[in-house]
Amino acid sequence: MTYNSTMKTAAVIAVIAYRIILWAVRILWYCFKAVVNIILWLLRALFWTMLFLTRIIL
């Protein structure tokens, strides 16, 4: 009986840990994608600004 309840408790803890890890990975992935998008947007803006300024200068 104690063995069975210990196994059930371990299984429940494993499932909870697995779900928490999945959520953490998902959140980190969304943060990573957002940061990459912001960096790409800034680089694009910088590129167009430089192009615009060189057009004005030249």
Helix, strand, coil percent content, the chain, rounded in steps of 5: 95, 0, 5
Looking up tokens 């840990």 gives 17
Does the reported pTM lie above 0.95? no
Looking up tokens 């009986």 gives 1
pLDDT, averaged per 10 consecutive residues of the chain (58 residues), comes to: 79 96 97 97 96 87
Instruction: Compute the distance between CA of residue 11 and CA of residue 19 in angstroms, rounded to an integer.
Output: 12
Closest by CA to 50, choosing from 35, 38, 58, 36, is 58
* pLDDT score of 1: 52
